[in-house]
Amino acid sequence: MSWIFFAAALAGALFTLNALRPPRRFWLVQGPAFFASWLTGELAPHHLFWQAAATAAFLWAGAATGWQGHAALGLVALSWAGLAWLHLESRRARPTLEGALREALGDDYRSEIDADLAATLDEPMTLRQRVMPLPIRDHRVERAGNIPFHEAGGRTLKLDVYRSRQRPKGAPVLLQIHGGAWMVGRKDDQGLPLMTRLAAHGWVCVAASYRLSPKATFPDHLIDVKAAIRWIREHVAEYGGDPDFVVISGGSAGGHLSALAALTPNDPEYQPGFEGVDTRVQGCVPFYGVYDFTDRRQHWNKSLLLPMLERVIMKRRRADDADAFDRASPMSRVRADAPPFLVIHGTRDTLVPIDDARTFVELLRAVSKEPVAFAEIPGAQHAFEVFPSERTAHAIQGVERFIDWVYSQHRKTAQVAAEKHSRTASAPAREGAVTRAS
């Protein structure tokens, strides 16, 4: 029994160590290590509970004898300390997001958020979400699923709409683009914590599918995202959304596609058959995205990203068509009229280097006239916000503050424009009245 206790304690300690220091270079173990690191880091309190329960059972069975039992107790103590650190580290997401927003928007940005939006900003994560993060649901939210929006590549692409059961009218819209290396993933398995929270607070959220590689070749994926924006322009009002205010978001490959869509508005190359549709968005929030297919600053050391892009996504060698890889890179599409951005990336991401995000933000800030916020989330792995956790809660609260600020600015601008139009329209009428009176 002492040997079993030692083996269990060693396994738990290795999971904790992997969450603290996941391998970044050795690609043979990078995938399994990522999953173990991701689940341990985001569910540290759950791991701590189960390790404590298992330890209690071993102690009750008398397994803490001999050097094996004593060593097991030492490993358990180290593992618990690491898990406690992981949990405390996850709580640093809140001040990190707040600091990023203050830097980009100003120290008093919260005072510029409209009162009806600000009323729900500080709603905490529920006890059920903390204890049982899955399934992700909120009784205040309803979903209209599998709505056809685009015919492409011999298939019908579909989207889901999440909205409040109160069914508001003229609500701001979020478009969520799933990740999965452009090859896997579904519209209903990512972005749910953010969409559920926003929908409960009055937003209309749209989660769209797109064609996947290897069958699809870039820019098929981006064309489908643009088609989803077209559907929003034409149909989201039927679900209570405002087609004139759209924020786009996504993680990983979805972060790449959302950033690229935001930076290529109305580009006919990516809108075949609907070139005349306005595909501008009013804000962008990419999570841990891939922003450069050219690896211009050599951040992809020993990564399999380039071979995957060449063989599966782009289906051409970068050396043979460097321009195609450049045009597919959000870094190469930065522009002065880019919408406001909030870029989010984890400091412990082992799949997409955070240096890519830093470079993207640097290049975008150099030219954009709108705010560019950047949050480096301490200890966060790739895909950290896929399900509710302490870190996820703080991150999506920060996202909500950012996009509510953007929406408040949009409202103010629209109100000023309406008042100006009203004054302009009424001026001839006043002049006519004066003429008749004279």
Residues designated catalytic: 252, 349, 382
Residue 134, phi then psi, degrees to nearest 5: -120, 145
The Cα-based distances of 364 to 316, 327, 332, 343 in angstroms read 27, 15, 9, 11
Residue whose token pair is 């966060």: 380
Write a three-state SS string for the chain: CHHHHHHHHHHHHHHHHHHHCCCCCCHHHHHHHHHHHHHHHHCHHHHHHHHHHHHHHHHHCCCCCHHHHHHHHHHHHHHHHHHHHHHHHHCCHHHHHHHHHHHHHCCCHHHHCCHHHHCCCCCCCCHHHHHCCCCCCCCCEEEEEEEEEEEECCEEEEEEEEEECCCCCCEEEEEEECCCCCCCCCCCCCCHHHHHHHHHCCCEEEEECCCCCCCCCCCHHHHHHHHHHHHHHHHHHHHCEEEEEEEEEEECHHHHHHHHHHHCCCCHHHCCCCCCCCCCCCEEEEECCCCCCCCCCCCCCCCCHHHHHHHHHCCCCCCCCHHHHHHCCHHHHCCCCCCCEEEEEECCCCCCCHHHHHHHHHHHHHHCCCCEEEEEECCCCCCCCCCCCHHHHHHHHHHHHHHHHHHHHHHHHHHHHHHHHHHHHHHHHHHHHHHHHC
Q: Quote the CA–CA distance of 434 and 438 in Å, as a whole number.
A: 6
Give burial (CB, 10 Å; 0-12/13-18/19+) of 104: buried
Residue whose token pair is 């800030």: 365
Give burial (CB, 10 Å; 0-12/13-18/19+) of 370: middle
Residue 25, phi then psi, degrees to nearest 5: -110, -35
Q: Quote the CA–CA distance of 332 and 364 in Å, as a whole number.
A: 9
